[in-house]
Structure 1
Amino acid sequence: MQQKKRKENRMRILLIRHGDPDYEHDTLTEKGRREAELLAKRASSLAMGSCYQSPLGRAMDTAQPCLKATGKDAEVLEWLREFPAQLDLNKDPELSRAYPGAKMADGKYLIRNVWDMAPGYWTEHEEYMDRREWRNSKVAECSDMKVVYDRVIREFDAFLAEHGYVRERNHYRVEKESTETVTFFCHFAISCVLLSHLWNVSPFVLWHGLVLAPTSVTEVVTEEREQGIAYFRGTKVGDISHLYAGGEEPAFAARFCEVYSNEDQRH
């Protein structure tokens, strides 16, 4: 007996991380291209709806096979680029112990991203675990993180408002019910920023508590238990079943050594 297709009655967001990256050339490795092709085999069943992509090459190169397989186009959204906040360790050299391996040139620390922090530091400073207090942290003081975070979530909320969901305190007011699906082809750190805003948690908790493997699919959907009040809940986080189905080992990007003695996994 043919199974009835389930009627969709909620808004749905898919966050798809790019494939195994060649950061130097802002594209994909050969492994990343295989991953993207395996994802494309699932594209139709994902029911991606309207598609959007980061302006960075590795995200576009991941999206292309899926778009080709489904006959879709993707709009570029500037705010979907990898979270670009920059940390200047020279403003507080004591912070260097939070970022092992911080590189120097001409006697000064090089600028680096804010989220790549050692767990021995951030877990001992509870402000990084608090959804508000991270704004008063040393990292926030020595970077443009607050400005960049606020710009991204402002753009995100404007996008959701266009689809009928208006941010109101810590939830969304439903101005117009939506049954749409939107798919973002983007990056790990920016995905965590968007989820941190939807779930009202510190981005540091998600940056360090989640691993979203290359080409993984994360799905959040609206839940409206009270009429007019919506909240977004995760139905799957970091799904890579398409890789297992294709016999492709998940890439190690965004992960660190599982045991310290494994030098091959250190970076």
Structure 2
Amino acid sequence: MRLLFIRHGEPDYEHDCLTENGVIQAQKLSERLDKTENVAAAYLSSMGRAQQTGRIFLKGKIIPAKTCDWLREFDVKVSDPDWPDPVPVWDLYPKNWTEIPGYYDRKAFADVPAVKQSELVKRYTAACEGLDEVLAVNGLRREGGVYVKTDSHDKTIAFFCHFGITCVMISYLLGVSPVIMLQGLSAEPTAVATLCTDDRFGDKVNFRLHGFGDISHLGNVADSGINYK
């Protein structure tokens, strides 16, 4: 199985849609996917900017598509000593979060006081359960830290969503703390992350990350005139 986690195009956050520049980015993304991927199914965040990005790709295609609220941006806020108010979980001060051992553990992160006072675990659990439901429908059932083949799973599935939720889903598939991914990764608009199953070991498989933050479809910024920010 091949999973594509795709960030939306350049956003107009105030109106939750794409800017003109974002529409161009989404069109270039669509052209890239048409040439290089055989997408069997698409799942879209319920937020407008991801919906618009996905619909540009889906236009004129007969591809099953479903909107999932658990794919919305992972905009959970947690407290940090150097901020007066809670901040997005990807904006913690390095000198603070790196000194908390629990943030590095895929299970113990849930017991960090700042996390327990937030909705992080609730949202994380919903995302993991949502992803597992999608994979189960497409031939992979979660058992512990691996997936068991229950049907043919030789297909490509695209998720049109956001940076934060992408980090969360990848952390779950790789078995690492989501905080590490949220603090350590970065993705430009329409960036593509690709994970594939390692099918060498019989009916039980795990996922491998084959690429993150790929914006090769946008070309050279000097030639395209597209603003990546």
**Normalization by structure 1: what TM-score?**
0.78
Q: Which amino acid aligns with 2:224?
A: G
Q: 2:112 aligns with which of 121, 137, 142?
A: 137
Q: Alignment partner for residue 144 of structure 2, among 150, 169, 175?
A: 169
Larger radius of gyration: 1
Unmatched 5+ stretches in structure 2: none
Pick from 112, 115, 128 the counterpart of residue 90 of structure 2: 115
- Partner of residue 228, structure 2: 251
2:154 equivalent to 1:179? yes
Q: CA deviation at 1:247?
A: 2.3
Residue 47 of structure 1: CA displacement? 2.1
* Structure 1 residue matching 2:154: 3-state secondary structure: coil
Distance 2:198 2:225 in 1: 34
Q: Which residue matches 1:5?
A: none
Q: Give the CA RMSD over aligned residues.
A: 1.9
The answer (yes or no) to whether the contact 2:89–2:182 under 8 Å persists in 1 is no
Residue 25 of structure 1 is matched in structure 2 by 15
CA distance in 1, matches of 2:32, 2:127: 29
Aligned to 1:75: 66
Aligned to 1:239: 214
Counterpart amino acid of residue 113 in structure 1: P
Q: In 2, Cα distance between the equivalents of 1:250 and 1:124?
A: 36
Name the stretch that deviates more: 137-146 or 197-206.
137-146
- Contact 1:85/1:145 (CA < 8 Å) preserved in 2? yes
Equivalent residue for 2:30? Answer: 40
- 2:6 corresponds to which residue? 16
Aligned to 2:54: 63
Q: Which amino acid aligns with 2:54?
A: A
SS at match of 1:49: strand
Shift of 1:44: 0.9
% identical aligned pairs: 36
The number of residue pairs the alignment matches comes to: 226
What's 2:202 paired with?
A: 227
User: What TM-score results when the alignment is normalised by the length of structure 2?
Assistant: 0.90
